[in-house]
């Protein structure tokens, strides 16, 4: 950042990249903890972590016909995922840590907010209509977690825990659409949307908010 560049200008220029980094790390940690909970080996941990971090964004880019994919264009992230897996395998075994399913839910909630807001904005920039952009945001945020859970032989948490998850991502996506329509900067639009989605998901987990379920 040069002396002539204000902090606000720096955030506008690099804020979206920062969000992408935080969201990727959050989902990577959720996949990493889930793989460790299932006691997978290093190959399994790397696969589950990679799917959680990049699965949703990859599907979004396929549907929007965007190339190259984020992890192809930024190959550094592949090494980050591999490094995280190796470090976690050594650290958790040395400390005899046993991650719980609830522990994976906290980074997952953070990734949900950032990826759904960011995915919605990326789709809007690609020229997608508002409803399609919001759905793309939901796909970006949810699909990686679905792949993570399927690979470890679990019913996807997004469909099972009856707490607001995809619904929160869908509602938060409209915040991004509204702010974008008001010509608000991408950093603020994504930041506000991500904050609201993450905060509501955290509140649902803390207070036990639940969606109605089918009664037999």
Q: What is the pLDDT of residue 10?
A: 45
- CA proximity to 203, closest of 195, 212, 192: 195
pTM: 0.82
Q: What is the pLDDT of residue 214?
A: 62
DSSP letter at 182 equals T
Which parts of the chain have pLDDT scores under 70?
1-17, 92-103, 161, 213-216
The domain locations on the chain are: 7-207
Q: What is the pLDDT of residue 99?
A: 59
Q: What is the pLDDT of residue 75?
A: 80
Q: What is the pLDDT of residue 93?
A: 61
Q: Are 48 and 34 in contact (CB under 8 A)?
A: yes
Q: Are 56 and 139 in contact (CB under 8 A)?
A: yes
Count CB atoms within 10 A of the CB of residue 216.
Answer: 3
Q: What is the pLDDT of residue 137?
A: 93
Q: What is the pLDDT of residue 187?
A: 84
- Does residue 68 have a cis bond before it (omega within 30 degrees)? yes
39: alpha, beta or left, given left = phi > 0 and alpha = psi -120 to 50? left
Q: What is the pLDDT of residue 98?
A: 56
What is the DSSP track for 4-58?
TS-HHHHHHHHHHHHHHHHHHHHHHHHHHHHHHHTT--HHHHHHHHHHHHHHHHH
- CA proximity to 135, closest of 159, 163, 148, 116: 116
């Amino acid at each position: 950042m040069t002396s002539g560049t204000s902090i606000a200008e720096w955030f506008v220029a690099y804020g979206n990249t920062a969000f992408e980094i935080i969201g990727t790390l959050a989902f990577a940690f959720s996949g990493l903890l889930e793989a460790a909970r299932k006691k997978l080996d290093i190959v399994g941990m790397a696969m589950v972590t990679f799917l959680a971090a990049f699965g949703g964004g990859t599907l979004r880019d396929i549907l929007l016909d965007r190339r190259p994919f984020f992890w192809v264009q930024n190959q550094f992230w592949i090494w980050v995922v591999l490094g995280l897996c190796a470090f976690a395998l050594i650290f958790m075994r040395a400390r005899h840590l046993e991650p719980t399913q609830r522990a994976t839910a906290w980074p997952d909630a953070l990734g949900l907010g950032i990826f759904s807001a960011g995915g919605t904005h990326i789709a809007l920039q690609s020229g997608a209509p508002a409803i399609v952009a919001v759905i793309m945001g939901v796909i970006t945020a949810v699909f990686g977690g679905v792949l993570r859970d399927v690979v470890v032989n679990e019913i996807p948490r997004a469909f099972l825990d009856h707490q607001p998850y995809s619904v929160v991502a869908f509602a938060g996506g409209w915040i991004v659409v509204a702010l974008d329509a008001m010509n608000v900067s991408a950093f603020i639009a994504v930041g506000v949307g991500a904050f609201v989605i993450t905060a509501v998901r955290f509140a649902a987990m803390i207070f036990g908010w639940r969606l109605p379920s089918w009664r037999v």
